[in-house]
Amino acid sequence: MTFWLSLPRPLIGLSPMDGVTDACFRSIIAQQGKPDVSFTEFTHVHDVCHGPEVHLETLLYSERERPIVAQLYGKDPALFYLAAQAVCELGFDGLDINMGCPSKSVASSGSGAGLIRTPELARTIMQAARRGIEDWAGGQTLEEAGFKSARVAMFERLNQQRGTTDPTPRRQLPLSVKTRLGYDSEAVEGWVEELLMEQPAVISLHGRTLRQMYRGTADWSAIGRAAALVKGTGTLLLGNGDIQSLDDIAVRVRETGVDGVLVGRGVLGSPWFFRSKEQARMRAHGMNGTEVGRDPVEVSLSERFAVLIDHAQQFQALVGEKQFYRMRKHLGWYCKGFPHAASLRAQMVRVSSVEGLHALLADFRNRPEAIVDLPQAESDDELSALVLRCS
């Protein structure tokens, strides 16, 4: 029995997003409203096996995130065999293969969504990853698999950074796939049937083709057909695309019969998104005791800024001030839904440190027009306390 089968239905998870769902973002989400499952950003199998240590940063995680699934991409089955064993050694709860990234640099090389055009290779990759998992679970060491001692030491340092010094328990991790409806056009039945031949634990399906990228709207009717196709096979089908609220989750689950959903862009700037997931589950099961709206979680401006600061502090502590520019997009996403948010968002693109963020927020909250226009009736004491924390 894999962890997937122990999760509540419909399961509500955090979708992997390259350059977004890093260890700090996932940690903040786990603190603010934990999803049922999380995924890392995707990591190239070559970087896992042969790349510089800095490229392993995407495989950092914290214990509070569990269950946590490592997502890999590439097109070389031999590297997938090795990388799967590294994922096991790093203590992840599952391994996911990215067969859905539409980026030109990824898909044109035959990786990501490019694998939709080569189903035989896609299946060979799944077989290789599963063999790697099985061999590691059977006791094979990383050195015996072909890793050099210096690479093994890198993996040990990652485990130590997470606070783990004991050997990772040997167990078989479940294998899953995240993909799209098709390449140039929707071909969901034929493609999903190919994947089902390898009996993955989960197929996560984004409701667009590669050609669509992120344009238009996700085709949930096609996702529903895929859900019907996998029913009774032992594989779970998760839908993904255009989920902006917990109410959307309930509607999509009822309409399509999926086993759950993964939420991506709807979480940006809203790490508390999953706080009301139990209400969404009730609605999905037809229980009307609690209504779920488009913004079910009430978050005051004070709390929003406090979470933003915590996120920035964790990020700078992990990667250093020189890399703080990577945090700016998150800072901008937090700036929505309150008076003068656009003005503050425009200034966030120039912030280069936690110290600079403190100063900017203190200045913003000291503006008379910002305080007067606040929709919530926050007290002067609360406002003063926040300014002090930010200065």
Q: Which residue has the tokens 């390449």?
A: 183
Both 12 and 106 in a single domain?
A: yes
- Asked if the model's pLDDT at residue 387 lies above 50, the reply is no
DSSP 276: G
Question: What pLDDT score does 303 carry?
Answer: 93
Question: What pLDDT score does 369 carry?
Answer: 56
Both 234 and 179 in a single domain?
A: yes
- Asked if the model's pLDDT at residue 216 lies above 50, the reply is yes
Last residue of a domain, one of 224, 254, 284: 284
Which CATH number belongs to the domain containing residue 223 in this structure? Answer: 3.20.20.70
Question: What pLDDT score does 90 carry?
Answer: 97
Residue 296 lies in a domain: no
Question: What pLDDT score does 365 carry?
Answer: 82
Both 276 and 351 in a single domain?
A: no
Q: What CA–CA distance (Å, rounded) separates 251 from 43?
A: 33
Domain count, the chain: 2
Q: What is the pTM of this model?
A: 0.90
Helix (H) or strand (E) holding 240: strand 236-240
Both 260 and 373 in a single domain?
A: no
Q: How confident is the model at residue 288 (pLDDT cuts 50, 70, 90)?
A: low
Contacts of 26 (CB under 8 A, 6+ apart): 14, 38, 40, 61, 62, 65, 68
**Burial zone of 360 (CB within 10 Å; 0-12 exposed, 13-18 middle, 19+ buried):** middle
- Asked if the model's pLDDT at residue 44 lies above 90, the reply is yes
Extract the tokens encoding 180. Answer: 């799209």
Both 181 and 52 in a single domain?
A: yes
Q: In what order do the strands lie in the sheet with 175-180?
A: 11-14, 260-263, 236-240, 202-206, 175-180, 94-99, 68-73, 38-44
Both 266 and 332 in a single domain?
A: no
Output the average pLDDT for the chain: 90
Instruction: Report helix, strand or coil for 41.
Output: strand
pLDDT tens string 95-126? 999 999 999 999 999 999 999 999 999 999 99
Q: Which domain holds residue 213?
A: 3-284
Both 92 and 235 in a single domain?
A: yes
Both 212 and 360 in a single domain?
A: no
Both 39 and 86 in a single domain?
A: yes
Residue 290 lies in a domain: no
Last residue of a domain, one of 284, 318, 338: 284
Question: What pLDDT score does 148 carry?
Answer: 96
